[in-house]
Structure 1
Amino acid sequence: MPRLPRLILPLAALGAAVWYVRGVRRYRDPIRIPPQDAGAVLSPADGLVCFVRRIENGEVRVETLAAPLGARDLTGADVREGWLVGLHVGPLDVHFAYVPVSGTATGVEHLGSRLNAPLGSPGLLLGLPADLLGTRGAVENERHTTTLTAANGDVSVTFVAGAGGLNATTYLRRGDEARAGHKLAFLGEGGLVLLTLPAGATPQVSVGDRVTGAETVLARL
């Protein structure tokens, strides 16, 4: 059999798979039932936990970097003491993001970028966590932050773009009231999701855990 016809079927199958992932699967909108727990901080997205780090004096320390990173530079939120949790939303994950706690949107900030650098490593596609804070993209890429003021402190959610840009549709404006588990955004390209927690929070997840948006309890306040 000639070589060209033998290649047509695999290429057609690959094209169909890409079309399904890009054009159908990433728009799925499963029903989510948030747990009824007043002290719970829900996962803002589906994905893989890549890091859980302390914020001390407004900084986050990363072993692979000579100098600590500023929490405000990463998230746009002014957090002096607390926690930073990072989730990687891959191409096969649900691309909707969710409100982690009930509260008021007291801060909504978008920061653009002239060039978006790659975020992750090939291992992420295999479900292997990577400390994305050590990448250039985690600091320099386009991002959008929503800060929610809840009864037990401020919680912020930051969407960090991958190399293809953020391409996100967000649903909250400053001053809006939000309920935990409701939709916060649609992430057209996935990427990195950062969650900041107040100092009194207790994380409930570890690096390598897979989480479900609006259902997994990431922390307790």
Structure 2
Amino acid sequence: MSRLTRLVLPLAALGAAVYVRGVYRYRDPIRIPPADAGAVLSPADGLVSFVRRIEGGEVRVETLDAPLNIRDLTGTAVSEGWLIGLLVGPLDAHYVYAPVGGRAGVTHMESRRNVPLGGAATVASLLGYPADLLGTSGVAENERHTTTLDGGVSVTLVAGAHGLKATSYLRQGDEARAGHKLAFLEEGGLVLLTLPANATPQVSVSDRVTGAETVVGRVEGASV
């Protein structure tokens, strides 16, 4: 490797990193939500980390001794349904969108201490290898912000180790339309989506989804 190459490569890497952090993550792509009654849209760009059944208000994780309580996790009282986790990476658009329309309910859960969201598991997921982040301590312990909408659908933003660096666009009681912006996640991270019991997930682990466009769930017998 020549001396010039040794000098140029680090500068190019630094320039790319600065561009991603300072420009690329703030892009605001045009999204056209499908006109599809009963569809639940993806709340964010990213990779599906897990799709779990909610039973009796709890989600069971093989790596944990006790099930996770959905009310503790998201602040919502979902007794039966589904929990989907989306990992928003550094190259994904960082906007969060309303998966369905409705009047917003807002819950913010503080944390005494935020911890990393899985470390090696997060890296593996970003590289495209399925890694279930639900069993990591940060998902249940870190700061979280939940927006509930119609039909038992909710979106929870989970903080990383440095806190929840997010801007929320909806307040309690605001009306939202499917595909409209809910928030901006400055650092990306984990987004949780709850679906009601009469919904069927349309995605699987390791699927890539596009916010406001990909149908991730379908509610039977309802127009949401």
**Same fold? TM cut 0.5:** yes
* Structure 2 residues without counterparts, runs of 5 or longer: 220-224
Letter in 1 for 2:190: L
**In 2, Cα distance between equivalents of 1:197 and 1:57:** 14
Deviation at 1:7, TM superposition (A): 4.5
Letter in 1 for 2:158: V
**Corresponding residue for residue 90 of structure 1:** 89
**In 1, Cα distance between equivalents of 2:145 and 2:137:** 17
Task: Please list the CA deviations of residues 52-94 of structure 1 after superposition, one character each: whole Å capped at 9, or x if unmatched.
Answer: 1111111000011111000011111111111101100011100
1:76 equivalent to 2:75? Answer yes
**Corresponding residue for residue 212 of structure 2:** 214
**In 2, Cα distance between equivalents of 1:129 and 1:167:** 25
TM-score, normalised to structure 1, is 0.93
Length, aligned pairs only: 216
**In 1, Cα distance between equivalents of 2:127 and 2:208:** 12
Aligned partners of 1:165 and 1:189 also within 8 Å? no
**In 1, Cα distance between equivalents of 2:95 and 2:152:** 22
1:113 equivalent to 2:111? Answer yes
**Corresponding residue for residue 24 of structure 1:** 23
**Corresponding residue for residue 126 of structure 1:** 127
Deviation at 1:10, TM superposition (A): 2.5
Out of 184, 187, 190, the position equivalent to 1:186 is 184
**In 2, Cα distance between equivalents of 1:59 and 1:124:** 24
TM-score, normalised to structure 2, is 0.92
Task: Please list the CA deviations of residues 188-209 of structure 1 after superposition, one character each: whole Å capped at 9, or x if unmatched.
Answer: 0111100011100011111110
**In 1, Cα distance between equivalents of 2:84 and 2:147:** 15
Among the aligned pairs, what percent are the same residue? 73
**In 2, Cα distance between equivalents of 1:88 and 1:163:** 15
RMSD: 1.6
**Corresponding residue for residue 174 of structure 1:** 172
